[in-house]
Amino acid sequence: MTSIERRPDSQGKVRDIYDAGDNLLMVASDRISAFDYILPDEIPFKGEVLNRISAFWFDKFADIVPNHLVSIDVNEFPAEFAEYRDYLAGRAMLVKKAEPIKIECIVRGYLTGSGKKTYDADGTVCGIKLPAGLTEASKLPEPLFTPSTKADLGDHDENISYERCVEIVGADIASQIRDLSIKIYSAAAEYAATRGIIIADTKFEFGVIDGKVTLIDECLTPDSSRFWPADTYEEGKVQDSYDKQFVRNWLLANWDMTGDAPHLPAEVVEGTSARYIEAYEMLTGTKFESMKENK
Tell me, yes or no, whether 75 and 162 share the same domain: no
214-271, pLDDT tens digit by residue?
A: 999 999 998 899 999 999 999 999 999 998 888 998 999 999 999 999 999 999 999 9
For the stretch 122-126, contacts whose Cβ atoms lie closer than 8 Å and that sit 24 or more positions apart, written own/partner, are 126/159, 126/161
State the total domains in the chain. 2
Does 124 share its domain with 93? Answer: no
Domain at 238, CATH number: 3.30.470.20
Residue type for 19, please?
D
Mean pLDDT of 204-214: 98
Instruction: Show the domain range for 225.
Output: 100-243
For 106-155, the pLDDT digits (tens) are 999 999 999 999 999 999 999 999 999 999 999 999 999 999 997 665 55
50 in a domain, yes or no? yes
Q: 78 and 148 share a domain?
A: no
Distance from chain centroid for Cα 152 = 16
22: left (phi over 0), alpha (psi -120 to 50) or beta: alpha
The answer as to whether 295 is a domain residue is no
Task: Give yes or no: residues 161 and 116 share one domain.
Answer: yes
Q: Identify whether 4 is part of a domain.
A: no
Q: Tell whether 139 and 191 lie within a shared domain.
A: yes
Same domain as 201, residue 79: no
Same domain, 52 and 79: yes
3-class secondary structure, 216: strand
CATH number (domain holding residue 63): 3.30.200.20
* Structural element, H or E, at residue 160: none
Q: pTM of the predicted model, to two decimals?
A: 0.92
